[in-house]
Chain A
Amino acid sequence: MTLLDDFLIRAALAGIGVALAAAPLGCFVVWRRMAYFGDATAHASILGVALALSFDVSVFAGVLATALAMATTVSALAGRGYAMDTLLGVLAHSSLAFGLVAVSFLQGVRIDLMAYLFGDILAVGRADLAVIWGGAVLVLVLLWWRWPALLTATLNPDLAHAAGIDPRREQMVLTIALALVVAVAIKVVGVLLIAAMLLIPAAAARPFAATPERMAVIAGLLGMVAATGGLQLAFVLDTPAGPSIVCLAAGLFAASSLTGLLLQRRRS
Chain B
Amino acid sequence: MNSLISMDGLTVAHSGNTVLSGVSLSIAPGEIVTVVGPNGSGKSTLLRSVIGALKPSRGTVTRAPGLRIGYVPQKLHIDATLPLTVRRFLSLPERVSDARASEALIQAGAGDLAARQMSGLSGGQFQRVLLARALLCNPQLLILDEATQGLDQPGSAAFYQRIEKVRQDLGCAVLMVSHELHVVMAASDRVICLNGHVCCEGAPEHVASAPEYRALFGTGTQGALALYRHEHNHSHDHGCTHDHGHQHEAAE
Q: A5-13, A37-45, A149-157, A181-189: which one contacts chain B?
A: A149-157
Give the residue name and chain of the A residue nearest to B70 (CB). A162
Evaluate contact between A148 and B83: CB separation under 8 angstroms. no
Within 8 A of B (CB), among A143-194: 148-149, 151-152, 154-163, 165
Within 8 A of B (CB), among A205-222: 206, 209-212, 214-215
A154 to B84, CA, bound (A): 12
Give the residue name and chain of the A residue nearest to B75 (CB). A156
Given the complex, which residues of B lie within 8 Å of A157, measured CB to CB?
53
Given the complex, which residues of B lie within 8 Å of A152, measured CB to CB?
92-93
> Is B40 positioned at the interface, with any CB of A under 8 Å from its CB?
no
Evaluate contact between B81 and A30: CB separation under 8 angstroms. yes
> Is A196 positioned at the interface, with any CB of B under 8 Å from its CB?
no
Residues of chain B whose beta carbon lies under 8 Å from any beta carbon of chain A: 48, 51-53, 69, 71, 73, 76-79, 81-85, 88-89, 91-95, 117, 143
Evaluate contact between A206 and B81: CB separation under 8 angstroms. yes
Give the residue name and chain of the B residue nearest to A147 (CB). B93
Give the residue name and chain of the B residue nearest to A209 (CB). B83
The one of B73, B78, B81 in contact with A203, judged by C-beta atoms closer than 8 angstroms, is B81
How many Å from the CB of A168 to the closest CB on chain B?
Answer: 11
Give 20 new A-B contacts, CB below 8 A, not counting A162-B51, A211-B83.
A31-B81, A148-B93, A151-B92, A151-B93, A154-B82, A156-B76, A157-B53, A158-B71, A159-B76, A161-B48, A161-B52, A162-B52, A162-B71, A162-B143, A210-B85, A211-B85, A211-B88, A212-B83, A212-B84, A214-B83
A40 to B71, CA, bound (A): 35
Evaluate contact between B93 and A165: CB separation under 8 angstroms. yes
**Interface on chain B toward A: helix, strand, loop, or mixed SS?**
loop
A32 to B78, CA, bound (A): 10
**Interface on chain A toward B: helix, strand, loop, or mixed SS?**
helix
Evaluate contact between B92 and A155: CB separation under 8 angstroms. yes
- In this complex, how many residues of chain A approach chain B with their Cβ under 8 Å: the count is 27
List 24 interface pairs A-B (beta carbons < 8 Å), by A numbering.
A31-B82, A148-B94, A148-B95, A149-B93, A155-B76, A155-B78, A156-B76, A158-B48, A158-B73, A159-B73, A159-B76, A161-B51, A161-B52, A162-B53, A162-B143, A165-B93, A206-B83, A209-B83, A210-B83, A211-B85, A211-B88, A212-B82, A212-B84, A215-B83
A247 to B105, CA, bound (A): 45
How many Å from the CB of B43 to the closest CB on chain A?
Answer: 14
> Is A33 positioned at the interface, with any CB of B under 8 Å from its CB?
yes
With A152-B92, A155-B92 known as contacts, the answer to whether A210 contacts B117 (CB < 8 A) is: yes
Give the residue name and chain of the B residue nearest to A149 (CB). B93
Give the residue name and chain of the A residue nearest to B115 (CB). A210
A31 to B71, CA, bound (A): 22
Ranked nearest first, the 10 interchain pairs of A and B with the lowest CB-CB distance are: A162-B71, A161-B53, A148-B93, A152-B93, A162-B51, A209-B83, A31-B82, A211-B88, A30-B81, A152-B92
How many Å from the CB of B11 to the closest CB on chain A?
Answer: 19
Evaluate contact between A159 and B83: CB separation under 8 angstroms. no
Given the complex, which residues of A lie within 8 Å of B88, measured CB to CB?
211-212
Given the complex, which residues of B lie within 8 Å of A149, measured CB to CB?
93
The one of A33, A158, A163 in contact with B93, judged by C-beta atoms closer than 8 angstroms, is A163
A206 to B81, CA, bound (A): 6
How many Å from the CB of A226 to the closest CB on chain B?
Answer: 19
